Amino acid sequence: MLIGELGEKGLIDRIRKKILKGSSLKSNVICGIGDDAAAFKSTEKTTLVTTDVLVDDVHFVSGTIDGRDLGYKSMAVNVSDIAAMAGLPRYAVISLGIPGNMEYSFIDSIYEGMIEAGARFDLQIIGGDTSRSRNLFIDVTIIGDVEPDMITKRSTARPGDRIYATGSLGASGLGLTALKAGSMPYPDAVERLIKRHLRPPARVEEGRMLARAGATSMEDISDGLITDLMHIAEESRVGFMLQEELIPIDIDVLKKSLAVSGKKPLELALYGGEDYELICTGPEGLIAEYEKRANQNEVVELSEIGMILDRDKGCVISGVDGRVSQITDLGYDHFKR
């Protein structure tokens, strides 16, 4: 059935039923969908709020993406922002703009993916809004919380801090290239890369452990390692030096990126974006502290990749050959594309 035939009331009724069926209302939710505003009991922690909007033709192409993946991703990218503050996600409100000639089944599958992500990250959809729109857009706002002494901002990196990154980089960027190109060599590896692009991680556990281990600042990698690290540099009024040979490049990117995309592995790791790993700064030895805490939990590896410098030293990268070069911000800008 088309959205235009279903109407707003029919659409909201279906969404509401789907969400209530997919998860039982948490005990601290006082009002869910169906009132003027959602309401929940406050905690003594610091409240976190983040919003990320995904727009058709900019962040995805609606004819080529599975609705479930799209719904999952729209939640995961927001959860990743909460993770970067060392917080836990709690609640989501969702605004959707939908073309009238879109099939309801596609919207339905978007919500299935959102509910799946909600279950994965232990957060609940408690409200939202829908409207007709020329192009599909999905705006997710997530509310979370964090212990006041654990919050990890962008503005608190200090010269002398080491720079760390979780997991490995470049897979999402190569996955996107493969997704756009269609058929590819190395189908198994490519399938993994594409999945990595469509269903990004959100390093919630890692974020919390990094904060407990002593991280001084943190951010998630959405625009690309360089661009996001430059945010930290700008907000903290510092410079930095990355060491090329320390960047943790995804194994399939390392071996196959030239064949799949013609791009150098390092380029994808530095500028590819959408890895949704965490970068943080902290004292020397943070890895040992992180691993000590990781003992009982499944978390990804942490790598030291560089150092925070005084602001006047600028933002540089030292190559394998020892040569140091100024970094240019080539990160993604969807307005200028």
Question: Which positions ≥6 away from 326 have C-beta within 8 Å?
Answer: 314, 315, 316
| Min dist. Cβ of residue 262 to its own copies (A) | 26
Contact 283, 164 (CB under 8 A): no
| Min dist. Cβ of residue 144 to its own copies (A) | 7
| Min dist. Cβ of residue 193 to its own copies (A) | 24
Contact 97, 132 (CB under 8 A): yes
**Which stretch of DSSP H or E encloses residue 90?**
strand 88-98
| Min dist. Cβ of residue 192 to its own copies (A) | 27
Count of C-beta atoms within a 10 Å radius of residue 250: 27
Contact 310, 189 (CB under 8 A): no
What is the Cα Rg of the chain in Å? 21
Nearer residue to its own copies within complex by CB, 236 or 257: 236
Nearer residue to its own copies within complex by CB, 168 or 227: 227
Give the amino acid at 283.
P
| Min dist. Cβ of residue 78 to its own copies (A) | 9
Nearer residue to its own copies within complex by CB, 145 or 244: 145
Distance of CA 105 to the CA centre of its chain: 26
| Min dist. Cβ of residue 249 to its own copies (A) | 24
**Cα–Cα distances in Å, from 47 out to 8, 139, 151, 243?**
32, 19, 10, 36
Nearer residue to its own copies within complex by CB, 55 or 316: 55
Q: At what angle do helices 204-213 and 286-294 cross, to 10 degrees?
A: 130
Nearer residue to its own copies within complex by CB, 54 or 299: 54
Alpha-carbon gap, residue 306 to 164, rounded angstroms:
7
Burial class (CB in 10 A: 0-12, 13-18, 19+), 95: middle
Nearer residue to its own copies within complex by CB, 91 or 240: 91
| Min dist. Cβ of residue 47 to its own copies (A) | 5
Contact 305, 164 (CB under 8 A): yes
Upper half-sphere CA count for residue 68 (Cβ side, 13 Å): 3
Contact 287, 164 (CB under 8 A): yes
Alpha-carbon gap, residue 29 to 25, rounded angstroms:
7
Nearer residue to its own copies within complex by CB, 97 or 272: 97
| Min dist. Cβ of residue 3 to its own copies (A) | 6
Nearer residue to its own copies within complex by CB, 87 or 201: 87
Nearest Cα to 249, choosing from 258, 241, 240? 258
| Min dist. Cβ of residue 31 to its own copies (A) | 6
Nearer residue to its own copies within complex by CB, 37 or 320: 37
The tokens 């962008």 sit on which residue? 154
